[in-house]
Chain A
Amino acid sequence: MPKNSLFLLSISILLSEIILRLNETAGFFLYSFLILGCLITLSKAKSLNDEAKLLIVFIILPILRIAELFVLFPFFLKINIVYIILFFLVTFYSLKFKINPGFSKRNLWMIPLVIIISIILGIIGNAFISFEKYPGLIFSIPLIAYSEGILFWGLIQNYSEKNHGAIASIMFSSFLYSVFSLSLGFPAVLFIFISAFFIGITYNSTKNIFLVITMNFILHLFLFGFSQISF
């Protein structure tokens, strides 16, 4: 893959996501071309190196969007189905690639610190941006926080770091995460990018996925779960 592959992947996801918001069929085609492009690149790969693994875990994103387009169930059921698919894919690839996304006791003492940071971020987010609240989502948040944590930081950031360095990998995972929240509006995307950047830095410096999941969990609780808290 070329050196600027992270940039190309980011731009292609951004374009697909924008087009999807404008026209669903066109968005579907763009995402399909993205998957097919990745598959063609992979079919030419001679071995399963870190770049190929990054491309494989990257394909999870367009696959999820396409799943969303066709799973026409009520919102909460749809969330659970899509995140179960994500859970299946991230678990499969973590095991198959024999990568430890950061299941360790190292730096666990930082949990109170990351809880405080997440609460502050959650309060700031609620203060400046009006996120739509889904109190019923509270039971699904552990699944959401876990699956997203493993995908964006445990797999994507981990694999991109190996060939592109720490800063590029943090930017890449944060960018992907925020682009996928484009439907929430630009201020929310900006806030989510900053939050994801904090999570990325935490993961990069601690290599502990539990801290990432905790941060993501608390942020989701504040931004989408609690209906009473607004400042």
Chain B
Amino acid sequence: MIIINNLGQISPIFLTVLLIACLILVEIGNKKIKKMLTPFVIVLVILFGIIATFDIISKL
């Protein structure tokens, strides 16, 4: 099992920066590789969505 039990909180800003950097680098690549890297961007976007949703809900 490759999951760590007790990983804590780090600022979501880091994830946003990583997501933007990934999007830029994926855009730089050739068309074939760009297509292949789409799932990673999807995962990061979903993570970003989850964090944003929970953040909004917790502040209501």
- Residues of B bordering A, CB below 8 Å: 1-5, 7-12, 14-15, 18, 21-22, 25-26, 28-30, 32-33, 36-37, 39-40, 43-44, 47, 50-51, 54
Contact = CB atoms under 8 A, between A and B. Distances in A.
Contacts of A181: 1-2
23 contacts: A24-B7, A29-B14, A32-B18, A36-B21, A45-B30, A46-B30, A63-B40, A63-B44, A67-B43, A68-B7, A70-B10, A70-B47, A70-B51, A71-B47, A72-B9, A72-B54, A75-B5, A79-B3, A96-B36, A148-B1, A177-B2, A183-B5, A220-B1
Nearest to B6: A183
Most buried by A among B7, B25, B28, B43: B7
Contacts of A59: 37, 40
A-side binding surface: helix, strand, loop or mixed?
helix
Classify chain A: how many residues form its interface, as a range: 35 or more
B3 A68 contact: yes
B4 A68 contact: yes
A70 B21 CA distance: 17
B-side binding surface: helix, strand, loop or mixed?
helix
B33 A43 contact: yes
B15 to A, nearest CB: 6
A27 to B, nearest CB: 9
A38 B13 CA distance: 22
